[in-house]
Chains A and B, each alone.
Chain A
Amino acid sequence: MQYKSQAVAKPYFIAAIGLFVGQILFGLILGLQYVIGDFLFPAIPFNVARMVHTNLLIVWLLFGFMGGAYYMIPEESETELFSPKLALAMFWIFLVAGALTIVGYLTVPYAALAEMTGNNLIETMGREFLEQPLPTKLGIVVVALAFLFNITMTVLKGKKTSISLVLLIGLWGLAVFFLFSFYNPVNVVLDKFFWWWTVHLWVEGVWELILGSFLAFVLIKTTGVDREVIEKWLYVIVTLTLITGIIGTGHHYFWIGTPEYWQWWGSIFSALEPIPFFAMTVFAFNMVNRRRREHPNKAAVLWALGTGVMAFLGAGVWGFLHTLAPVNYYTHGTQITAAHGHMAFYGAYAMVNLMMISYAMPLLRGRAANSNKSQVLEMWAFWLMTVAMVFITLFLTAAGILQVWLQRASDAPLPFMVAQDKIALFYWMREWAGVFFLIGLVIYIVSFFVGGEEKQAV
């Protein structure tokens, strides 16, 4: 750790991991509800558990992004953070707001929560991923603005690198596109149209800039490859991301009342969306092969390579599988979508955060890298979680193909629930893969607490 103020990243990382555990536990509840339908009913119905699962994901990823930015920006800018106090204050506000929201989901019926939290003033609740009550949404805006102010001021007073610049564009984009979550017209087609301006332009747009800049930063640090080379790659990757991803939004405009020409725009541009992810994988492997030093933190390098490969598979390949309009006509809103969503989020955003945590946490704890023993455990966790996610994706894909066949493509289409019963075996296997994921996550957490001989940071 070169700058004292980088230390504010630590609570962000710890909170991120804690919320990640919560996300996975609720994932297991949901997986079980798929096969034992009345599990925890009516105390925690599926929609409540799912809201907790997806909202925890979003919040822990945001904690990770903020922690990563607070760690990275002082080092890139070669100056202390503009205001570490503001960063810490925002940490507590965000954590308390997030915790209260989850408690609200779990203890109050959603309609009552909406009533209590002023949904009648601006109706924003009850839309997928944007279920947060109004005060939480406003809290997210306040925290995001304070965070952006802090990070931007730090960059402005220090050195302005390309990595910082790409990160800033990504983070400002994140804040700007979140504002569409406040727009919820009575016309459901318009509602859905602009809902994607938050959801798609986040995960297939500006978030990829954050991902790219984190990856570039860790690769510079761990491989010692020339900054000029890495930053040139970064620009190429984020260019490919945005020229494919922005019009790629069209793959969500096939069947929601929007004109048919989106089937062409969406199919063509989103078919190109795997390219930036492929470039990211080639980039990561290329830089590691051309490394000029042996960094003692092997685990961080493994996460860096892993995030490239898994993002390419999950977002790129599994996205492409169902993105062409004639295919999507049959697969839209099935388990194929769920399969893609799981691997893409894990590969791109969970793993890049875990990479940043893996690189930064030992330094924040005053060592160059964790002990060999700890790193071996962390790498076990990497493989268990990653292989488990591959199997979750494969089982959901199998379930999805059968679902499409039974319910949509056959001559005598079956009702939804009849088809679901026939594919229950795959849901059971997905749940077991989820248990292995949890074991991997537990080992990951244990890896923070094992001793052994550590290299002191220089």
Chain B
Amino acid sequence: MSGAFTKSMARNIFYGGTVFFFLLFLALSFDTHSQLPKRDMRANITPQIAEGKKLWEVNNCIGCHTLMGEGAYFAPELGNVVARYGDEGTKAFIQSRPKEGIPGRRSMPQFNFTNEQLDAIVAFLKHVNSINDANWPPNDQG
């Protein structure tokens, strides 16, 4: 960098560039928000789905699993688990986890959910599966 390009020029480009691209980001975010209602299926969110999301959070499911690809990579993707196992299959899986785990295998804790809680979790996962996420994941295996 030669003498013609001074520090104050660099500083002005920094401020100008940052402000410009942050405003562009805000504009894109604003546009996204106007499109989201058609994609995120918010009209279908029931109290049961909200309860399911809360159970998902307070049991830290994301600490092992991914949801729409985000989370930990220790256990399978759950954004499409209802497509893989069905409602009853998903519930039966969660319910049947042995308390002490499976010797030598990655084990999911036994959370002792009630039937209502299981229904709420499945309702939430079904809702996630219904979101228009550009056809991700590539197949049902997640």
Residues of A within 8 A of B (CB): 33-34, 36-38, 41-42, 45-48, 50-51, 110-111, 114-115, 119, 123, 125-128, 131, 162, 184, 186-190, 192-193, 228-229, 231-233, 235-236, 238-239, 242-243, 246-247, 249-250, 252-263, 265, 329-330, 332-335, 337-338, 407-409, 413-417, 419-420
Complex contact B141–A408 (CB within 8 A): yes
27 contacts between A and B (CB under 8 A): A38-B104, A38-B107, A45-B64, A46-B72, A47-B60, A47-B74, A51-B60, A114-B57, A114-B58, A125-B60, A126-B60, A126-B62, A186-B49, A188-B67, A233-B1, A235-B11, A246-B24, A255-B68, A255-B133, A255-B137, A256-B131, A262-B28, A332-B69, A338-B73, A413-B138, A415-B76, A419-B141
Complex contact B62–A42 (CB within 8 A): no
Complex CA gap A131/B63 in Å reads 9
With A188-B128, A239-B14 known as contacts, the answer to whether A265 contacts B28 (CB < 8 A) is yes
- Is B87 in contact with chain A by the CB < 8 A criterion? no
Task: Report the minimum CB–CB distance from B137 to chain A (whole Å).
Answer: 7
Which parts of B93-137 form the interface with A (CB within 8 Å)? 99-107, 109, 111, 127-128, 131-134, 136-137
Complex contact A417–B133 (CB within 8 A): no
Give the A-B contact count at a CB cut-off of 8 A: 226
With A232-B10, A334-B73 known as contacts, the answer to whether A247 contacts B136 (CB < 8 A) is no
In which size bucket is the chain B interface? 35 or more
- Contact pattern, B 16-48, Cβ under 8 Å of A = 1, otherwise 0: 011011101100110110011001101001000
Complex CA gap A255/B31 in Å reads 17
Among B7, B59, B99, B139, contact of A413 (Cβ-Cβ < 8 Å): B139
Task: Report the minimum CB–CB distance from A379 to chain B (whole Å).
Answer: 31
Task: Report the minimum CB–CB distance from B113 to chain A (whole Å).
Answer: 10
Complex CA gap A263/B105 in Å reads 37
Q: What residues of A have a CB within 8 angstroms of the CB of B6 in the complex?
A: 232
Complex contact B73–A258 (CB within 8 A): no
Q: What residues of A have a CB within 8 angstroms of the CB of B109 in the complex?
A: 42, 45
Among B1, B61, B68, contact of A232 (Cβ-Cβ < 8 Å): B1
Q: What residues of B have a CB within 8 angstroms of the CB of A413 in the complex?
A: 138-141
Closest B residue by C-beta to A325? B134
With A41-B107, A256-B70 known as contacts, the answer to whether A111 contacts B28 (CB < 8 A) is no
Q: What residues of B have a CB within 8 angstroms of the CB of A51 in the complex?
A: 60, 63
Among A46, A128, A189, A415, contact of B39 (Cβ-Cβ < 8 Å): A189
Q: What residues of B have a CB within 8 angstroms of the CB of A114 in the complex?
A: 57-58
Could you list 4 further interchain pairs (A-B, Cβ under 8 angstroms) beyond the known A36-B104, A242-B14?
Answer: A125-B57, A228-B7, A246-B24, A255-B137
Majority SS at the chain A contact face: helix
Closest A residue by C-beta to B131? A257
Complex contact B54–A257 (CB within 8 A): no
Complex contact A249–B25 (CB within 8 A): yes
Q: What residues of A have a CB within 8 angstroms of the CB of B99 in the complex?
A: 42
Closest A residue by C-beta to B138? A408
Complex CA gap A243/B16 in Å reads 10
With A42-B107, A46-B106 known as contacts, the answer to whether A110 contacts B25 (CB < 8 A) is no
Closest A residue by C-beta to B20? A243
Q: What residues of A have a CB within 8 angstroms of the CB of B21 in the complex?
A: 242-243, 246-247
